[in-house]
């Protein structure tokens, strides 16, 4: 077990559908610690950088167009094994293959509009956080999360 910081974003489709609270609730209720959060429409530059790993894919232009299409909610989330934990909570990329109980398995139908993004490794988490947050926009605060209350 290791304490990690991950990057999560409610995508524009979920924002439009009024699912911000639902998705943030799942993260809070799991016991993860929210340390950064914003409401913004990603710029073209942010969208391109966010999905730079996919720039050679045929869906890249649509992906960047979608992620920059309207308000989204980027977040920084901390907790034990937070990176893989949140990936498990959001489910498979294609909602048709996502397990019930996951965000995508419960709330999404379309691979291009799958409600939520989460970083998939420590290096991508740090990189993605820096696209959307300055260091002083991430909170440090005490919580009894070394114990059992969460």
Catalytic machinery residues: 117
Residues 26 to 85: which contact ligand RTP by CB under 6 A? Answer: 54, 59, 63
Closest approach of Cβ 28 to ligand RTP, in Å?
Answer: 19
11 is in an annotated binding site: yes
Contact segment (CB under 6 A) with ligand RTP among 32-40, 71-79, 113-121, 126-134 equals: 113-121
Buried b or exposed e, range 56-78, using 16+ CB within 10 angstroms: eeeeeeebbebbbbeebbbbbbb
Closer of 59 and 150 to ligand RTP (Cβ): 59
Nearer to ligand RTP, 28 or 94 (CB): 94
Q: 45: which residues sit within 8 A by CB, 6+ positions away?
A: none
The correct pick among 6, 68, 102, 114 for binding ligand RTP (CB under 6 A) is 114
Gap between the Cα atoms of 132 and 124, Å rounded: 13
CA 132, 136, 137, 139 dihedral sign is positive
Residues annotated in a binding site for ATP: 11, 59, 87, 93, 104, 114
């Amino acid at each position: 077990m290791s304490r990690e910081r991950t990057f999560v974003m409610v995508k524009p489709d979920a924002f439009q559908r009024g699912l911000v609270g639902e998705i943030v609730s799942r993260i809070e209720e799991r016991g993860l610690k929210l340390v950064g959060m914003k409401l913004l429409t990603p710029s073209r530059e942010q969208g391109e950088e966010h999905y730079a790993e996919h720039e050679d894919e045929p869906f890249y232009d649509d992906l960047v167009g979608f992620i920059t299409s309207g308000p989204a909610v980027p977040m920084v989330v901390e907790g034990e094994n937070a990176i893989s934990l949140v990936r498990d909570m959001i489910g498979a990329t294609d909602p048709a293959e996502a397990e019930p109980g996951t965000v995508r398995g419960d709330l999404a139908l379309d691979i291009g509009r799958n409600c939520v993004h989460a970083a998939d490794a420590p290096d991508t988490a740090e990189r993605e956080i820096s696209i959307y947050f300055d260091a002083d926009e991430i909170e440090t605060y005490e919580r009894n999360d070394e114990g059992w209350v969460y």
